[in-house]
Amino acid sequence: MAHRLLRDAEADGWERSDFPIICESCLGDNPYVRMTKADYDKECKICTRPFTVFRWRPGRDARYKKSEICQTCSKLKNVCQVCLLDLEYGLPVQVRDTALSIDSNDAIPKSDVNREYFAEEHDRKTRAGIDYESSFGKARPNDTILKLQRTTPYYKRNRAHVCSFYVRGQCTRGPECPYRHEMPVEGELSQQNIKDRYYGVNDPVAMKLLSKAGEMPSLEPPDDESIRTLYVGGLDARITEQDLRDNFYAHGEIESVKMVLQRACAFVTYTTREGAEKAAEELANKLVIKGLRMKLLWGRPQAPKLDSEGSDEAKQQAAVTHSGLLPRAVISQQQNQPLQAPPPGSQTQPPPVPYFNIPPLPQHERAYYPSMDPQRMGALIPSQDGPSGSNENRGGSEQQHQQAQQYGYPSMAPPPGQFYPPYYQQYGYRGPPPPVLPPNQQHHQQYQGPQGRMPAGPPPPATGTSQQP
Amino acid sequence: MPKVKTNRVKIPEGWELIEPTLRELQAKMREAENDPHDGKRKCEALWPIFKIAHQKSRYIYDLYHRRKEISKELYEFCLDQGYADRNLIAKWKKPGYERLCCLRCMQPRDHNFQTTCVCRVPKHLREEKVIECVHCGCNGCASGD
């Protein structure tokens, strides 16, 4: 008897669902969210068919949100059921469609019975499991999308609505009024229509975004031709050096990648200026790694530090002024030279020509061969130095990690005299030429232990110093 | 016609002492019932009703259980005649519900997610400090505050 149902599972074809299709912003920041489910509670704002309404509070300072359109409509356009923005990018339908050149508007009827019939047919096909053509999964994000997309959830849209009584000066509820007591922001963007937004037609927000995308400034290459380093800001602990390499290798040969976790930034140095320019041009506003948007700027040459054990405040001050000044480096380096971060030793104005205030070190001659520089990638002399060259690179960058003394970018080997001093400063305090010995030692050690890369970094210099002749 | 037995109320002693207050409260209730609804929210219009009902019951509860100034007979008489709410008083006798505002606020069946009204939450555990509960306009009826 139990298998015979009196009603054949809702033959009316109304929509039932278990969980709403919503974006992260609409779901809220609270992992413990209580949601009510009401079957056939309201009609969809687009197709006017009854559907399951979910209602929840997305966070403590949020109003209650409920699903506005049915799941059929939201799947057709791949949008959130509440905010009607794209599920992947958080962009209005019109923006996404113009950027990806999708045009399904002709296929979806917009009026009356046609619309309901289309929705029902679509729903039936989905439930029957028939594969219908959905282009949303296959589309690759293009430039515009990458520039415009939201990478973090935006909770401001979950705030309570503006108290209309307050606007008229008549709110008698006082402090317990749950609506916002602010003046509403008027403007062209306030006249939005849910159907326009859904179909991607005549949407003021979309048009504003599209015009903004067209005008986004591109990264100007700096005047100083020797700068081949890009500053990458907005890093996170999850982003590894390998991620950066993966993103940047396509534009040119990477000489080095230095990550400065304390300032959430990294410096990527190319071997050629053209590579750096190409990378800047391609990635300027579009760099998104692991869901985090990165800020890309040109790097600036660092003033060398006289004191490798500078105080923390001085380091932070140096870093802060650098972060503050880095954008301006784009414009004119000469003007900014006096404003460069002073070395911690001298807190006042740094010398106007910072590169020459350090007397050349005795190691200078010795380390003149590029292959001896652990930072140098690739071989000029083949065979033995080739693999050791790349090993050195890894070891070198890790050594710099450990030391984290400087916030400039690692030295670029070739232009002697300019960037060498800061690099060798670090080793200067550890004694004479550890740069020479560790590569060989790492070479051997890494042959012994395949995973000994990271730990092999610091020990060799330490043992290097002790083993010096 | 056969003789129809009617119930004639036998008023117990002590009634004259409490009668004036009870009449006043009744008049107040009548006023609240006849108030126009202008300028008030739909739920807000009902709040005075709940408030006065609470007041009446409170008066009689105080007289009998706290101050012990009336006899049991008179107390039962008041409850039977409808001057106080028996069920509400029953709740006041329980620990934790001594200041309960109304019976709806503590009924989980009446709320989403089977919770109680926000007015039952003590102020130091709440996030919003100033609230008016939607059922009876209560500001907070937890026993602690």
Residue with tokens 């071997």: A271
pLDDT in tens, A451-463: 444 444 444 444 4
Least confident piece of the model among A104-113, A278-287, A443-452, B42-51: A443-452
pLDDT over threshold 60, residue A442: no
Which of B39, B113, B127 shows the shortest C-beta gap to A34? B113
Q: What gap in Å lies between CA B28 and CA A453, rounded to an integer? A: 85
Amino acid (1-letter code) at residue A22: I
**Is there a contact between B100 and B92 (Cβ–Cβ < 8 Å)?**
yes
Greater pLDDT, A429 or B101: B101
Q: Mean pLDDT, to the nearest integer, of A315-336?
A: 45
Q: Mean pLDDT, to the nearest integer, of A40-47?
A: 92
Q: Mean pLDDT, to the nearest integer, of A249-263?
A: 84
pLDDT over threshold 90, residue A439: no
Q: Which chain A residues contact residue B132 at CB under 8 A? A: 173, 176
Q: What gap in Å lies between CA A30 and CA A33, rounded to an integer? A: 6
A34 lies within 8 A of chain B by CB: yes
Per-residue confidence band for A433, with pLDDT thresholds at 50, 70 and 90: very low
Amino acid (1-letter code) at residue B13: E
pTM, two decimal places: 0.62
A48: how many CB neighbours lie within 10 A of its CB? 14
Least confident piece of the model among A153-162, A327-336, B72-81: A327-336
pLDDT in tens, A281-306: 777 777 777 777 788 878 776 544 43
Q: Mean pLDDT, to the nearest integer, of A250-267?
A: 84
Q: Which chain B residues contact residue A172 at CB under 8 A? A: 39
Per-residue confidence band for B72, with pLDDT thresholds at 50, 70 and 90: very high
Q: Mean pLDDT, to the nearest integer, of A255-272?
A: 84
pLDDT over threshold 70, residue A6: no
Q: Mean pLDDT, to the nearest integer, of A344-362?
A: 47
Question: What local confidence, expressed as pLDDT, does residue A302 receive?
Answer: 59
Q: Which chain B residues contact residue A175 at CB under 8 A? A: 130
Question: What local confidence, expressed as pLDDT, does residue A30 receive?
Answer: 92
pLDDT over threshold 50, residue B11: yes
Q: Mean pLDDT, to the nearest integer, of A239-257?
A: 83
Q: What pairs with residue A258 in β-bridges?
A: A267
CB pairs under 8 A between A and B: 13
Per the prediction, chain A carries an average pLDDT of 70
pLDDT in tens, A163-221: 999 999 999 898 889 999 999 988 888 889 999 999 988 899 998 888 887 776 666 66
Most confidently modeled range among A207-211, A434-438, B23-27 = B23-27
Residue A355 has which token pair? 């590169």
pLDDT over threshold 80, residue A428: no
Per the prediction, chain B carries an average pLDDT of 94
- In 3D, which of A181, A190, A185 has the Cα closest to residue A163? A181
**Is there a contact between A385 and A201 (Cβ–Cβ < 8 Å)?**
no
Q: Which chain B residues contact residue A34 at CB under 8 A? A: 112-113
pLDDT over threshold 90, residue A341: no
pLDDT in tens, A150-170: 888 999 999 999 999 999 999
CB contact under 8 A, B130 and A174: yes
Taken in order A105, A111, A116, A118, is the CA torsion positive or negative? negative
CB contact under 8 A, B113 and A172: no
Q: Mean pLDDT, to the nearest integer, of A126-136?
A: 65
User: Coil, strand, or helix at residue A115?
Assistant: helix
ipTM: 0.84
CB contact under 8 A, B130 and A172: no
Q: Which chain A residues contact residue B113 at CB under 8 A? A: 34, 36
Q: What gap in Å lies between CA A181 and CA A378, rounded to an integer? A: 63
Question: What local confidence, expressed as pLDDT, does residue A1 receive?
Answer: 52
The minimum CA-CA distance between B127 and chain A, rounded to whole Å, is: 9
Q: What gap in Å lies between CA A255 and CA A186, rounded to an integer? A: 52
pLDDT over threshold 60, residue A443: no
**Is there a contact between A397 and A456 (Cβ–Cβ < 8 Å)?**
no
